[in-house]
């Protein structure tokens, strides 16, 4: 039986790390070796408790949040969208390696615990337009939300739907803000506190649009949690 299990594993599971190509060994997860996971760079400095901007010089709300805070109540992310973390995010959504959702959700759980947030009433993944989801085969934000919710012991809901629109990758910040302003609609009620999950936050336009829609759906609090944050000082979150 053991030899059969070994043969099946060698046939159907990758033998090399999906990122660096080195052989998989002890501690591998989601088809990625332990060395790559251990080398993921996470935020180390004090973040802004409101927008989630990392590595502030002093604790407390950043200057931007004191002047014009974002619509959500708090935000956090695992690390900068660079290096190995960026590679893992791209493997998940462009490489269609959905087996990465579980170990990436473990990083999200660590960031959630570090933030000291209360358990949400619901976990919500940023929705994807149905056509893009059909093309990709899954919505990475919803996969992450589902895995994280299981770890937290919280229910998952999908109260929003996403309209069509041009992809935001490569768009300027002003264009991202314009494109996201009316993109999300309420599909069902979702009262209480919401933990909104996404893979990458760049300008904060998507998170802001989702937050406003969630407020219309009945949310009393919205906290945003992402795997990565684009290291752009002009971004909202």
- In CATH, what number is assigned to the domain containing residue 189? 3.40.50
Residue 58 is part of which domain span?
17-229
Do the domain assignments include residue 171?
yes
Do the domain assignments include residue 197?
yes
**What pLDDT sits at residue 162?**
86
Do the domain assignments include residue 12?
no
**N-terminal to C-terminal alpha carbon distance within the chain:** 51
Q: Decide: residue 95, CB within 10 A, 0-12 exposed, 13-18 middle, 19+ buried.
A: middle
Do the domain assignments include residue 107?
yes
Do the domain assignments include residue 2?
no
For residue 174, what is the enclosing H or E element? helix 173-180
Do the domain assignments include residue 198?
yes
Q: What is the rounded radius of gyration, in angstroms, for the C-alpha atoms of the chain? A: 18
The two tokens of residue 231 are 């290291």
Q: How many domains does the chain have?
A: 1
**What pLDDT sits at residue 79?**
96
Do the domain assignments include residue 203?
yes
Can you give the pTM of this predicted structure? 0.85
Q: What does pLDDT average to in each consecutive run of 10 residues of the chain (237 residues)?
A: 49 79 94 97 90 82 91 96 97 91 98 97 92 81 97 95 62 50 80 96 93 94 97 49
Do the domain assignments include residue 3?
no
């Amino acid at each position: 039986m053991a030899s059969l299990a070994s043969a099946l594993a060698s046939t159907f599971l990758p033998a090399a790390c999906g990122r660096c190509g080195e052989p998989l060994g002890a501690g591998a997860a989601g088809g990625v070796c332990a060395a790559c996971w251990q080398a993921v760079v996470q935020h180390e400095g004090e973040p802004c408790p409101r927008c989630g901007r990392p590595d502030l010089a002093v604790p407390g709300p950043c200057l931007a949040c004191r002047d014009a805070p974002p619509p959500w109540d708090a935000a956090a992310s695992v690390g900068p969208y660079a290096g190995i973390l960026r590679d893992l995010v791209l493997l998940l959504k462009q490489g269609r390696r959905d087996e990465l959702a579980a170990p990436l959700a473990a990083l999200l759980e660590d960031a959630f615990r570090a933030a000291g947030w209360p358990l949400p009433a619901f976990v919500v993944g940023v929705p994807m337009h149905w056509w893009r989801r059909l093309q990709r085969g899954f919505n990475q934000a919803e996969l992450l939300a589902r895995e994280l919710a299981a770890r937290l012991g919280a229910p998952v809901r999908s109260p929003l739907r996403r309209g069509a629109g041009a992809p935001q990758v490569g768009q300027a910040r002003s264009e991202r803000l314009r494109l996201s302003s009316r993109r999300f609609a309420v599909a069902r009620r979702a009262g209480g506190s919401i933990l909104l999950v996404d893979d990458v936050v760049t300008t904060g336009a998507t998170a802001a649009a989702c937050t406003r829609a969630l407020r219309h759906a009945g949310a009393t609090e919205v906290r945003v949690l992402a795997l990565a944050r684009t290291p752009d000082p002009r971004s909202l979150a």
